[in-house]
Structure 1
Amino acid sequence: MDTWRIEEVWEHARGEGITVAVIDGGVDSSRPELAGQVLDGEDFNWGPDGAHFDKTGHGTLMSALIAGTGAGGGIQGLAPEAKILPLRVTDELTFDFGSEARIATAIEYAVEEGAQVISISLAGDELGADREIVDAAIAEAARQDVLIFAGVGNEGDTENRSLFPAAREGIVGVAAVDRNGDHARYSNHGVQVALAAPGDDVPTYCPLLDGDPCLVSEGGTSAATALAAGAAALVRSAHPDWTKNQVLRAMMETADAPEGGRDDYVGHGMIRPDRILLDGTVDPGDPGTNPLFAEYEATLDPPVSPEPQPEPEPSEAEAQEEQPAPSENQAAATGGGDDGIGPWALAGGAGVLLVAGILTAVILNRRRDTTSV
């Protein structure tokens, strides 16, 4: 928080007007720091318990890191005026043969509900059974100007692998750095890494969901992903006229880059949202060109439009032509004229915690020792 000059940043933006979809294991909206922050959401599991049910606390922690208000001694997130859209796709934070389809459906739902940022702190081996629906969901998010962040995984010190969904084209892969800003040893590495954020010494709750705040020594790329999403919410809040491409480019160009430029461990470096909001020297560049996925987006059909264009208002003549012929009763009521204006239908889109249990290796927020605050 000191490095990011967050108190000064909040004088410019606090995430207001931004919705961040959290695709995870649910969000416990009863936490005091999340009161009023969590939208209804949806549960895509078999036998759903509801989007506000969180068996492990993982999704709640991620949401608090993004938008927690700090109320009641709870977690203070990066964008405390952003809203969380909870999308529950798992129960035990493990991947199964339906995981990819559920994540894809959750991405589609987030886009339909107007989320500007999507955070996915989950990772697993891609099974490929639902590739088409995944491709379609990511492509539609790109067309609708939605940024998707996903953690790259916590197996970097053992069997480093490229994991789903962070490795997919169109999704910004996030690695973890330690308290010194260096690559965290457990954080996966490879070409899928685009940016990095802190994964160590991040807040959680110990020992249970109603416990006191503490720090987790290795929060993993789960926490890093949530912080990257929170930073994007701040930038989008401060610059509502920027496209996702401009937000991402600004985050990449202001990151603490490794020597020699991008590498496979921290990507373009640790994010520095404060430099975007406070220093005023960032050129967001071309709104229509994605700094990471230009070639990918160029292949999409229909293509990606940087700024959705409003439908033109019909001329008076066109409006009259579009009206159905009046019935005898309508003609009688209007005097039988042809210049009456029919009704128009207007439609609009709707607008922490302990990571409980021993989680499997595919879980990003792999807990180690904790230190009380």
Structure 2
Amino acid sequence: MQAEQMWKVSRGEGVTVAVIDTGVDGSLPELRGQVLEGTDVSNKPTGAHVDSEGHGTNIATLIAGTGVDGGIQGLAPGAKILPVKAVPDSQADAVDALMARSIRYAADHQARVINISLAGDGDAVQYANTQTAVDYALGKGSLIFAGSGNGGDKGNQPEFPSSLRGVVGVGAIDRQGKAAKFSTYGNQVGLVAFGEEIVAHCEKGPGYCIGRGTSQATAIASASAALIWAKHPDWTNNQVLRVMMETAGKPAGAKMPSKYLGYGSVRPRKVLVDGEGDPGPADVNPLLAANAPKPSPSVSAPNSSSAGKPIAAEPATDDGIGTIAWVALGAGAAVILAAAVGFGVMRRRAKATYPNQP
């Protein structure tokens, strides 16, 4: 991505990126001074800076890690991280309400970019509160990126919240620029970013892991938006998204959007260094315009944004109780220790149940 060139123009200064995830450990060298207070939105909170899973911390480092003391260097090291912990307790938390609170908190605390590297499945009507929160955040001027999921080679079911109207679903590509086999595809994919062989702190034990997933791709998309917004602070969410779509990398002669690549792979360098991309009107959402005449959100604001995408649907269980698997969308491959190489899995799963809504 030629980050060094971009950093001469923008490092993401002045932009807050909310990381709705498993928490963020701000004590890591590369995250010191980068992490704001944040909140834990669960009904049994343990603290926004407590991350027993390690997933949210790794996402934060990819976005805003400074690389200090040999730590991970993020793509937007000048940005600040707002940690919003959203780990559900199966006895205390309805996931729809949990995610809705997370998004509203982020929007109310000046997060221009909201990163959601989590996914779940379930009946569409179970996400009514989250959809309303998405509309609210877009009306407040935020951009929301969410991983499309890692089930492209395992049934390829659309996943929440990337499939909600107004959320930019992010898929993963490999080193050849092709859609990664695991990346969930469909019309919920708005953009893609690199999601293979990415270094992260091992989630169990010391050392570094080589990971993959739409979690990582989403972090890169969010960091790209932060870089662009820092350079153009007067642009609206619609304008930042429009230039990201216009400058996205596309296969020669390909018809876009593609169900695998959306509008292409994020290339903030084309905006920051090459000066490409027309921001266009402040009050017209490019995804919504591209998908007209699909319905607009219930909340309308001058700079509101909404992608006309269907909500992911899956039949409810026979007893009328929907079950959601809250998956951190990053899978680890190789664990790197001194002179030895081992293998581990970085995928994390937590379950919560809640009644279907009418």
TM-score scaled to structure 1, two decimals?
0.79
Of the three residues 228, 246, 249, the one matched with 2:239 is: 246
Residue aligning to 2:153: 157
Residue aligning to 1:235: 228
Residue aligning to 1:273: 268
Q: Deviations over 1:158-183 (max 9, x none)?
A: 11110100000000000000112111
SS at structure 1 position matched to 2:328: coil
Is 1:24 equivalent to 2:21 in the alignment? yes
Contact 2:55 2:328 in 1 (8 A): no
Of the three residues 321, 330, 333, the one matched with 1:368 is: 333
Aligned runs of 1:68-87 on 2, under 5 Å?
Answer: 68-87=65-84
Contact 2:209 2:334 in 1 (8 A): no
Distance 1:47 1:361, change over 3 A: closer
Aligned runs of 1:125-274 on 2, under 5 Å?
Answer: 125-128=121-124, 130-206=126-202, 208=204, 211-216=206-211, 219-258=212-251, 259-274=254-269
Matches of 1:144 and 1:298, distance apart in 2: 19
- The AA in structure 1 aligned to 2:332 is R
- The AA in structure 1 aligned to 2:18 is A
Is 1:46 equivalent to 2:43 in the alignment? yes
Residue aligning to 1:282: 277
Residue 5 of structure 1 deviates from its aligned partner by 1.3
Residue aligning to 2:313: none
Is 1:36 equivalent to 2:33 in the alignment? yes
Residue 78 of structure 1 deviates from its aligned partner by 0.7
Distance 1:238 1:161, change over 3 A: same
SS at structure 2 position matched to 1:287: coil
Matches of 2:15 and 2:218, distance apart in 1: 17
SS at structure 1 position matched to 2:138: helix
Residue 362 of structure 1 deviates from its aligned partner by 3.2
SS at structure 2 position matched to 1:27: coil
Q: Deviations over 1:17-40 (max 9, x none)?
A: 000000001001110100000001
Q: Compute the RMSD of aligned alpha carbons.
A: 2.3
Residue 215 of structure 1 deviates from its aligned partner by 2.8
Matches of 1:140 and 1:228, distance apart in 2: 21
Distance 1:254 1:275, change over 3 A: same
Residue aligning to 2:57: 60
Matches of 1:76 and 1:122, distance apart in 2: 22
- The AA in structure 2 aligned to 1:280 is G
Contact 2:190 2:262 in 1 (8 A): yes
Contact 2:53 2:203 in 1 (8 A): no
Distance 1:117 1:157, change over 3 A: same
- The AA in structure 1 aligned to 2:280 is G
Distance 1:207 1:98, change over 3 A: closer
Contact 2:208 2:336 in 1 (8 A): no
- The AA in structure 2 aligned to 1:291 is P
Give me the identity figure in percent. Answer: 45
TM-score scaled to structure 2, two decimals?
0.82
Higher strand share: 2
SS at structure 2 position matched to 1:150: strand
Q: Deviations over 1:80-108 (max 9, x none)?
A: 0100000001169x999612211110100
Q: Deviations over 1:177-208 (max 9, x none)?
A: 01121110000000100100011011112474
Contact 1:123 1:152 in 2 (8 A): yes
Contact 1:26 1:87 in 2 (8 A): yes
SS at structure 1 position matched to 2:119: coil
Matches of 1:261 and 1:301, distance apart in 2: 28
- The AA in structure 2 aligned to 1:41 is G
Distance 1:297 1:34, change over 3 A: farther
Residue 129 of structure 1 deviates from its aligned partner by 5.9
Matches of 2:257 and 2:298, distance apart in 1: 30
Contact 1:195 1:269 in 2 (8 A): yes
Residue 302 of structure 1 deviates from its aligned partner by 4.7
Distance 1:298 1:127, change over 3 A: closer
Contact 1:101 1:130 in 2 (8 A): no
Residue aligning to 2:2: 5
Aligned runs of 1:332-343 on 2, under 5 Å?
Answer: none
Residue 130 of structure 1 deviates from its aligned partner by 4.7
Residue 128 of structure 1 deviates from its aligned partner by 4.6
SS at structure 2 position matched to 1:362: strand
Q: Deviations over 1:124-172 (max 9, x none)?
A: 1034565332122111111111000000100111111101000000000
Is 1:106 equivalent to 2:106 in the alignment? no
- Structure 2 unmatched ranges of 5 or more: 305-324, 339-358
SS at structure 1 position matched to 2:222: helix
Matches of 2:69 and 2:204, distance apart in 1: 16
- The AA in structure 1 aligned to 2:179 is H
